[in-house]
Copies of this chain bind each other. A is one copy, B any other.
C-alpha cells in the first residue's frame, strides 16, 4: 500500500523536491511542495464544503478543524459548511475508509491553495484529516489579515506505521491526558497509539472475565471497558489506530497478583512495586493457555485493531530456572533452553491470538524461526535486529532510538532512521517489511502532570522522521519547525509549556519563580537509565515526582541557543560582537542567579538538593566571563586557572539531583579558548 502512494507521488514530476520555503513552517515536511506567490485570505467568511464519499470522521473532523482554526486565529467561525461552489476550502474524499482503520490504508492527500480558494483531495478520509492539519499549519497572520500562502502540496507518508507507545502501567495516565496526546499525534500525522496496558506494576483495563486483574493490580486506577471504547473511537476520529499490549510471559506481575496459579513460582505477589521481583508465567501448564485464551478473547473484542501486542520482552531466567517442573518440561520436549521455551509459548500464543482474529506483535525476543511470518516484531534493540527479522520474512518496526524516557535531545531521535545501518542493505522486498517506527514513553518517572513535557515537542521530530522523505534531515530546520509546532500543540490543551512554571512555583511555595526558572532553564534531567539508581526500591505509594528533575525539560532550549552563540563566536575568530554581547548577557544573568536563589533553595526541601547546581552555574558563569575577558584582551588565563574551571565543568556534567548543567560544555569551550593549554604530552 505504501508503494502505491509513492507511485502516485512520483507522477507529480513538476513538483519541487521536498524543501521548505523559509516562511512555511510545516511539520512534518510534506513529500512534495510547490510554492506560489500570493495568499488565500482566511477571515470570518471562511467556509468548508465536503464532497465525495461519506465518512463519519469527516462529519466530526471538519467541525473540529474549524474549531481549531478558530482557536488558533481567535476568530469565531461559522460552524456550518458552505456549498462547494462558494466554500473557501473544498474537500473531496474519493472513498470511504475501512470500518476499522487498517495498516496501509492510503493516507495521501493533495492540497492546492489559490488566491480564491483551497482544495483538498484525498483517496481516503485519512488523507483528508492529514491535509486539514497541513492547512492549519499554513494559516498565519500577515500584515493585512490571516492568510495561507499559495502552494500546491502532494503529500503522503514514508512509512505506514508511525506510532507512540504510552506505558500506563507504571504510572496510570487518565483518559483525558491520553486524549489530548491523541490530539497532538494527529497534528504531526502519527497514526498508531500503542497502549502498554499491563506490565509488572499494573493492569489497567477492566476485565469482566478476570476481575482480579484490574481489582488487585491497579490501585483503582484503570480504564473501564466503556472508557476503552470511548478512547478507541476518539482516536479513530483522528485517524489513529489503538493497539493494546498485554505483557507475557515476563513483565507479568500484574497478571499473577490475582492469579498466582499462572506463575512459575508460587508467589504470593504484591501489586504496584516498580523494579522489584520479575515473575514469569508458567508456560508449561495448560491452564495458563486456557486463561490467556479467555483473556485475549475478551480484550480482542474490546480493541478492534487487527494487531495485538503480547510484549514478550525481557523474560527473566530466574523464575523458570528455579522451577524444576519447567526445566524438566524443556528437557522432555527436546528444547535447548528458556529461549526455546519462550518460542514454544509464542507458537501456542500466536494460535490463540490468531483464533481471535488478530495479528500477533511482540518485542525482539519473540523472533524465532518457528513462528509464522505474520508475526510483527517491534525492535527495542535496533536496525540490526530489525533487518535480521526482515531478512527472515518478518515485518517489523523500530523503537530503538525513539525512547522518550531517556531524555535525549530531539536531534538525536531525529537522526535515527529505520532504514539506516543494517536495514540500509535490505533488498527492496525486504525493506518493505520495515513498517515504520514507534516512539516509546515508558512511565517510571512520568505523571499526568509531566507526561506531556516528556512527549512534546520531541515526538514531533520522530513523527517527521517517519512521515517525511528520508532526505529531510537538517536539524536546524527541524528545531525551527519544532518550536512552531510546539505552541500549536498548546492550543490543543497539551501542557508541556503551561505546566512548567506552576511546577516551579510549587517548589518555591508560591514565591517568585524567576531565579529558579533561570536555573531550571539551564539544566536537563540525566540521560538513559541513570535516574533509576536513586529510585526507592519498594515504594508503599507512588513516589512524588515533584522535584526540579521532573520540571526540567528533557532538552534545554537555552543550552542549545547558548551553544549556538558560542559556536558562532568561536567560528568568527572571536570577532562577532553581537554574539559576544549575548553570551555575556547570559553569563551575567547566571553569575548573579545563585545569590537570588539561595534563600529559596534553603526554604524548600524540594530544592535543597539543587544547591550545588545553582552554585556551580554561578561559578561557570564567572569562569565564562573571565575567559571572555581573556579572549578579548588577548591575555589568556593561566593553566592552573584553566584546570580549576574545567573541574567545575566536569562536575557540572555529572548527575547531581538527577540533573546536568547543560550550558557547561559551551562554557568549557570559552574556558579553553581563553586560557593557556596544558603542555602537549610527549608522543
Contacts and interface: CB of A to CB of B under 8 A. Distances in A.
A578 B73 CA distance: 43
Given A73-B546, A604-B142, A541 B449 contact: no
A392 to B, nearest CB: 45
Interface in A461-506: 483-484, 487-488, 490-491, 497-498, 501-503, 505-506
A48 to B, nearest CB: 15
A294 interface: no
B74 A546 contact: yes
A71 to B, nearest CB: 8
A509 B140 contact: yes
A75 B544 contact: yes
Contact of A503 (B74, B143, B503, B510): B74
> Chain A contact residues: over half helix, strand or loop, or mixed?
loop
A36 to B, nearest CB: 19
Contact of A73 (B146, B497, B506): B506
* Interface size class of chain A, counting residues whose CB lies under 8 Å from the partner chain: 35 or more
B502 A484 contact: no
Contacts of A497: 501
A116 interface: no
B507 A141 contact: yes
Contact of A604 (B72, B77, B143, B605): B143
A606 interface: yes
A67 B66 CA distance: 35
Nearest to A75: B544
B544 A76 contact: yes
A447 B608 CA distance: 42
Contact of A502 (B490, B508, B545): B490
A144 interface: yes
Given A510-B25, A510-B488, A141 B505 contact: no
A605 B143 contact: yes
B503 A487 contact: no
Interface string A68-109: 000111111111000000000000000000000000000000
Interface in A503-524: 503, 505-510
Nearest to A509: B140
A75 B546 contact: yes
A603 B544 contact: no
A44 interface: yes
Nearest to A448: B71
Contacts of A607: 141
8 contacts: A71-B449, A72-B506, A74-B546, A75-B544, A140-B509, A141-B506, A141-B605, A144-B605
Interface of A: 25, 44, 71-79, 140-146, 220, 447, 449, 483-484, 487-488, 490-491, 497-498, 501-503, 505-510, 540-542, 544-546, 550, 602-608
